[in-house]
């Protein structure tokens, strides 16, 4: 019996041709989908490679690049003879990368000794820290070199500048100090001349690897050092005046003492001292009130030190002469119902004797002859009631009431220094009028200041030979 081959069944009813056509159609669809997917991938790659470069560069730099400010070296402060009053000293902060730090026995002990840490405390900090951290204490270049000889892995050094004040308390209230964090002037000359001293910081770009460790750096902008400032003060004179101020404070039991010393020929400030004063290098228990320049900030009633200006005004206005005699008996005078008196009755006094004996009665009798507007005018010209033209921040104006509000009692008490407030620097400047034949000098604290001769206010106060001087 002969067997026949079995033919494929086509129960659904499709012909062989139809099946072939369907298969070909599906293949074409698959090819189109594949080509479309390939086209999408190519377009995406083109976009990322060529059209979105800046975005990916920004992401890459944010991830792997760090920009760090490079501090500028702050300018020095000198006295008139070139003595350094303030300078910036290079120091270092020590950083540790825990993942790389190798802590062998002897090397660790030496390292801790150099950075001022207990070994157990340091290791405890390292165990807690997962990334880079900085030790609190700073060290100088010599200790950096010693640490490098230990060949410890995971130890890095960061440069920074620390302000040094060699004269400590003697100059602290004048020179002032800078902030610890950003080397910005916060008191005294350091603050007033900060725009000269500070300079312009630079910037560097660091490439960072895992663990926040820099493996490459590029200087983006070089820092520009600050400008030096030379003051008119004399460090030798300042040291002497500071010792005398301390002695006076102790001798008189004073709460504070301030002294200003001027060169009466030039207006140069040779010394400004305030005690008590603090060492600006010691920040642990620093009291900012003890680095404040009270000679320019504190106002007080000047008392009898104002009497010479009342007498000078009367001389200038021709109300009295150097030969005038004032009757001060019986030792007191009533003004607007108030009794003003001397310590005793001095009788008749010349103008020189009124000042020599500091007679309130004699001064008041002269002052009441002066028109109120004239007396106010000259006191104002002398600088009372307004801040001195001096580039020191924090100076006060003092108080000088407007003359239209004066009664006789106001004019009387102002003539011997009550009812008016001044700062010590104002009073010192005003007294230069007695050394310059009636000229009042501008005062200077630095050689950046310009010197301009001022008008002659008191022409009749003293002659060429001082014959009319009070």
Active site residues: 304
Q: How far is CA 298 from CA 32, 257, 316, 399, in A?
A: 90, 11, 30, 12
- Pull the structure tokens for residue 63: 């991830």
CB atoms within 10 A of CB 179: 14
Sign of the Cα pseudo-torsion (25, 30, 34, 40, in order): positive
Integer Cα distance of 425 and 390 in angstroms: 10
Contact 231, 79 (CB under 8 A): yes
| DSSP run (H or E) holding 429 | helix 424-430
Residue 208: exposed, middle, or buried by beta-carbon count in 10 A (0-12, 13-18, 19+)? middle
Q: How far is CA 2 from CA 5, 96, 142, in A?
A: 10, 95, 110
Those residues with Cβ within 8 angstroms of residue 81's Cβ, 6 or more apart along the chain or in another chain: 234, 235, 236
Phi, psi of 369, deg, nearest 5: -85, -15
Q: State the DSSP string of 2-40.
A: PPPPPPPP--S---HHHHHHHHHHHHHHHHHHHHHHHHH
Integer Cα distance of 333 and 133 in angstroms: 76
Integer Cα distance of 24 and 16 in angstroms: 13
Integer Cα distance of 126 and 142 in angstroms: 24
Matching residue, tokens 């189109």: 32
Helix/strand/coil for 291: helix
Contact 71, 222 (CB under 8 A): no
Q: What's the distance, CA 104 to chain centroid?
A: 44
Phi, psi of 231, deg, nearest 5: -90, 165
Q: State the DSSP string of 153-204.
A: TTEEEEEEEEEE-TTTHHHHHHH-EE-TTT--EEEHHHHHTHHHHS-B-EEE
Q: Does residue 414 have a cis peptide bond before it, meaning omega lies within 30 degrees of 0?
A: no
């Amino acid at each position: 019996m002969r067997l026949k081959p079995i033919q494929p069944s086509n129960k659904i009813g499709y012909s062989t041709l139809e099946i072939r056509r369907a298969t070909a159609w599906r293949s074409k669809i698959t090819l189109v989908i594949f080509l479309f997917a390939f086209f999408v991938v190519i377009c995406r790659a083109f976009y990322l490679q060529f059209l979105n470069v800046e975005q990916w560069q920004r992401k890459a730099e944010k991830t792997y690049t760090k920009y760090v400010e490079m501090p500028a070296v702050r300018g020095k402060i000198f006295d008139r003879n070139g003595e350094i009053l303030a300078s910036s000293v290079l120091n270092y902060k020590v950083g540790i990368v825990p993942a790389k730090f190798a802590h062998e026995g002897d090397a660790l002990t030496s390292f801790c000794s150099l950075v001022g840490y207990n070994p157990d405390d340091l290791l405890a900090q390292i165990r807690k820290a997962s990334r880079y951290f900085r030790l609190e204490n700073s060290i100088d270049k010599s200790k950096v070199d010693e640490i490098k000889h230990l060949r410890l892995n995971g130890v890095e050094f960061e440069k920074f500048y620390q302000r040094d004040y060699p004269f400590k308390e003697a100059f602290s209230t004048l020179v002032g100090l800078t902030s610890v964090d950003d080397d910005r002037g916060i008191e005294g000359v350091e603050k007033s001349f900060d725009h000269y001293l500070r300079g312009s910081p630079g910037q560097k770009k660091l490439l960072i690897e895992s663990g926040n460790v820099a493996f490459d750096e590029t200087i983006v902008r070089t820092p520009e050092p600050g400008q030096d400032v030379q003051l008119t003060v004399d460090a030798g004179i300042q040291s002497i005046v500071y010792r005398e101020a301390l002695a006076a404070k102790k001798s008189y039991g004073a709460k504070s003492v301030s002294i200003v010393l001027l060169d009466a020929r030039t207006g140069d400030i040779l010394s400004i001292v305030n005690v008590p004063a603090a060492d600006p290098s010691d920040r642990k228990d620093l009291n900012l009130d003890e680095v404040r320049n009270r000679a320019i900030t504190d106002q007080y009633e000047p008392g009898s030190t104002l009497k010479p200006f009342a007498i000078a005004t009367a001389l200038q206005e021709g109300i009295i002469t150097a030969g005038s005699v004032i009757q001060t008996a019986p030792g007191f005078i009533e003004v607007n119902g108030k009794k003003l008196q001397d310590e005793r009755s001095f009788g008749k006094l010349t103008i020189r004797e009124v000042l020599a004996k500091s007679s309130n009665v004699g001064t008041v009798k002269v002052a009441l002859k002066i028109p109120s507007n004239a007396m106010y005018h000259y006191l104002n010209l002398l600088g009372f009631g307004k801040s001195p033209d001096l580039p020191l921040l924090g100076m006060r104006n003092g108080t000088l009431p407007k003359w239209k509000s004066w009664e006789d009692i106001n004019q009387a008490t102002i003539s011997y220094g009550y009812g008016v407030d001044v700062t010590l620097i104002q009073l010192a400047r005003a007294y230069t009028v007695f050394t310059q034949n009636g000229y009042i000098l501008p005062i200077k604290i630095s050689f950046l200041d310009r010197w301009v001769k001022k008008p002659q206010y008191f022409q009749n106060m003293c002659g060429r030979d001082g014959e009319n001087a009070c």
